[in-house]
Amino acid sequence: MSNTNKCCQGDATPSQTCVTPDEFMVRPGQIAPKFTAQAYVQGDYRQISLEEHLGRWVILFFYPGDFTFVCPTELAQLATRQVDWNALDTQILTVSTDSQFVHKMWDEVELSKMVKGGIPFPMVADPNGQIGNSYGVYQQETGVHLRGRFIIDPDGIIQSMEVLNMAVARGTNELIRQIRAFRRVHEANEYTPADWTPDQPGLDKDKVKAGQMWNIWKPENQM
């Protein structure tokens, strides 16, 4: 039985706090937990906050750690799509439990050899796991974050979340597709069907009737 289960069954020690999943898990549709933290940003150290980026789309990208195996491939791939993020008015914020000083060293020693000019977006330091804990991705037993990714809209509302275990990297193309889809919903007040891409129409929720989707959308047309 886990410590959390014992705690919630009344077996908590004085050093434990009983926290149920509903109390610490964020969900789409909720306000994104705000934070202020130190970050490494293109050769400099500075304090950043989530709040300063509101008004734009934000991708909050948690990863286990610097100088690991899968993580450099994820950050490098995100960095190669900076032109896309700019076009989509989207700010990437990556977060791990490493300090801003380790972020700098990692960028200089490894990432800058994978991406010309190094990482163009803020690399946030979360050494105590407080930010990750507020988003439900911090693993206290290992002291690192799971691969959590959150899409936050310009109003500060979480629109999407994805959490993976350590061994599998996330797909950048799908992330860009989701940003485009959420922007379509946000700006045109339409829904988007399975595998929607920007060259396809959205669904007018005031005109589409339940039970009639077969008449306007077919899986074979998405191949």
Question: Hey, which residues are catalytic here?
Answer: 71
Bridge partners (DSSP) of residue 93 are 60
**Residues 6 or more apart whose Cβ sits within 8 Å of residue 211:** none
**What is the residue type of 205?**
K
**What is the residue type of 132?**
G
CA distance 33 to 150: 11
**Residues 6 or more apart whose Cβ sits within 8 Å of residue 147:** 62, 63, 64, 74, 137, 163, 164, 165, 166, 168, 169, 170
Bridge partners (DSSP) of residue 149 are 61, 162
Residue 210 dihedral angles phi and psi, to the nearest 5°:
-60, 135
Cα distances from 213 to residues 194, 205, 206, 219, in angstroms, run 12, 11, 13, 11
